[in-house]
Amino acid sequence: MSVVLEVDRVSKHFQARSGFFGGDRRVVRAVDNVSFSIEEGTSLGVVGESGCGKSTTAKLVLGLEDPSAGAIRFEGKDLVGMDAAGRRHYRKSVQAVFQDPYASLSPRMRIGAIIAEPLITNEKHSADTVRARVLEMLDLVGLPARSADLFPHEFSGGQRQRIAIARALALSPRLIVLDEPVSALDVSIRAQILNLLRDVQDRLGVSYLFIAHDLAAVAHMSQTIIVMYLGKIVESGEARALARTPMHPYTAALFSASLPDHPDDRREEIILSGEVPSPMNPPTGCHFHPRCPRAMARCAQEAPTLREIDGRRVACHLFD
């Protein structure tokens, strides 16, 4: 299998100014030294609490932000310094579905025009071809053909997310960035959309970068999972193994907080104390140590590095 996207030690830092004259400059490390790769036809899940850098990662991959350091390579070519033709190819190959289905469709455009927009913008087609493609996409996501002539406000949240998926698929991309695609939907609709996404992947062989805070959804969708905390990867590995036997205390806490598969299942609940610290002023050493139930003296001083253990990558002093 070939690697579609490779993110190589990428960081994104933002300058934040505070103080009376804005003289007090601080650097927010939204994404810090993050590496991962996505193979063709597979899904990579990214989980973490809000503010951990998930969405910034999505923006970096989509080219909405440029990385401060590191390289993002698509089909082996670096995004920064890509020529115009390469950029165009990348735009066509990478599409996105965002969280809020009420904000992601242009309210004054008909569904047909919304789905056709990426197509019309990037390729030259006759009106008939475009129309046929739109109807094909609507059919693929399970919406009736007459939807093409309606406006977004005539659809429910789940239907809108289907439209957003149809739009993302219109150019037959190789990678779709799913930034919390089901978080805003009713629980009853979530499974439908997740199954649709899996179905589409099986049929078209598209890769997903699946970002969510819903662990069950991520475990259900992805082959590989990355757990992020304050801009850094704390653990990554094969999805099922990571969900069943989490190694990093943070991963363990996250998975203990999600609902068990069966209501009779009993398991130890790990309750994290405190809030996520401000990324402007992260704790010393391991960023997680003030909330970690298994913190040691060393954790406050020394930041753990990501190391390979049993086919997984973990950043924790417990495993030294």
Partner 1 sequence: MRALRSVRAWLRDAPAIPFLILGLIAFAAVFADFLAPHDPQFGKLSERFLPPFWIERGSTAHIFGTDHLGRDVLSRLIFGARVSMVVGFTAVIVSGVVGTTLGIVSGYLGSWADQIIMRVTDAWLALPALTFAIFLAAIVGPSEMNIVIILAAVYWTRYARIVRGEVLSLKEREFVRLAIVAGCSKWTIMRRHILPNVINSSIVLATLMLGIVIVTEASLSFLGVGVPPPKPAWGVMLADGKQGLMVGHWWLTVMPGTCIMLMVLAANLLGDWLRVKLDPQLRQL
Question: Among 153, 203, 262, 267, which residue sits at the site for partner 1 (rule: CB under 8 A)?
Answer: 153
Q: Contact 233/227 with Cβ under 8 angstroms?
A: yes
The Cβ-side half-sphere exposure at 135, using a 13 Å CA radius, reads 8
Give the integer Cα–Cα distance in Å for 282 and 316: 17
**55 lines the binding site for partner 1 (CB under 8 A):** no
**All residues at 6 or more sequence positions from 111 whose CB lies less than 8 Å from its CB, including other chains:** 105, 138, 147, 148, 149, 150, 151, 152, 155, 163
User: CB-wise, 86 or 277, nearer to partner 1?
Assistant: 86
Nearer to partner 1, 154 or 199 (CB): 154
Q: Is 147 in the site for partner 1 (CB under 8 A)?
A: no
Contacts of 261 (CB under 8 A, 6+ apart): none
**Contact stretch for partner 1 (CB under 8 A) within 67-75, 97-105, 208-216, 252-260:** 97-105
Between residue 1 and residue 20, which ones bind partner 1 under the rule CB under 8 A? none
Contact in structure between 111 and 163 (CB atoms under 8 Å): yes
Query: Of 105, 134, 219, 253, which one interacts with partner 1 (CB under 8 A)?
Result: 105
Our CB check for partner 1 shows the closer of 109 and 306 to be 109
Residues linked to residue 18 through DSSP beta bridges, in sequence order = 24
221 in the Ramachandran plot: left (φ > 0), alpha (ψ -120 to 50) or beta? alpha
Who contacts 100 (Cβ-Cβ below 8 Å, separation ≥6)?
184
- Of the pair 1, 127, the CB lying nearest partner 1 is at 127
User: What order do you get walking across the sheet with 24-39 strand by strand?
Assistant: 24-39, 3-18, 69-74, 77-78
Contact stretch for partner 1 (CB under 8 A) within 23-31, 116-124, 127-135, 310-318:
116-124
Exposed, middle or buried, 102 (CB in 10 Å: 0-12/13-18/19+)?
A: middle
Residues that contact partner 1, how many (by CB under 8 A): 26
Complex with partner 1: residue 200 or 230, whichever CB lies closer = 200
Binding of partner 1 by 96 (CB under 8 A) = yes
**From candidates 36, 74, 98, 208, binder to partner 1 by CB under 8 A:** 98
Q: Binding to partner 1 (CB under 8 A): which residues in 154-183?
A: 164, 167
Q: Choose between 161 and 236: whose C-beta lies nearer to partner 1.
A: 161
Owner of token pair 């992020």: 228
Single residue of 43, 99, 222, 224 touching partner 1 by CB under 8 A: 99
Verify binding: residue 109, partner 1, rule CB under 8 A: yes
Say which residues have a Cβ less than 8 Å from residue 33's Cβ, sequence separation at least 6.
9, 10, 11, 70, 232
Among 13, 73, 77, 92, binds partner 1 (CB under 8 A): 92
The residue within the footprint of partner 1, chosen from 25, 88, 294, 307 (CB under 8 A), is 88
Supply 227's token pair: 């757990």
**Interface with partner 1 by CB under 8 A: which residues?**
62-64, 88, 91-92, 94-96, 98-100, 103-109, 117-118, 121-122, 153, 164, 167
